[in-house]
Amino acid sequence: MALDKFKQVQDDKVLDAKNKAEHGLAKFAHLNKVVDFVNVKAYADNAAAVAAGLKVGDLYHTAGDVKVVTA
């Protein structure tokens, strides 16, 4: 199961009132880069991801659940 892309549905008046450097707003384009990366391939578990060459800290998914490779 692949993740869906993010879409903005309304304005955020709190963030709009602040300087962008103050809140470090993650743009949907940035989040969608992660979605694209994670959607590339699913692995059964951490061992399968490591066997496929992923390194500690890499992202992968199992049936839509985003996970991080551990040792």
Domain-embedded: residue 59: yes
Residue 6 lies in a domain: no
- The answer to whether residue 57 sits within a structural domain is yes
Please count the structural domains in the chain.
Answer: 1
- Asked if the structure places residue 50 within a domain, the reply is yes
Check: pTM over 0.85? Answer yes or no.
no
Nearest alpha carbon to residue 59 among 37, 44, 32: 37
The encoded tokens of residue 11 equal 């304005």
Instruction: Please identify which residue in the block is written with the tokens 């390194």.
Output: 55
pLDDT tens track, the chain, 71 positions: 567 877 776 777 776 776 766 666 667 777 777 777 777 778 999 999 999 999 999 888 887 788 899 98
State the residue range of the domain holding 24: 13-68
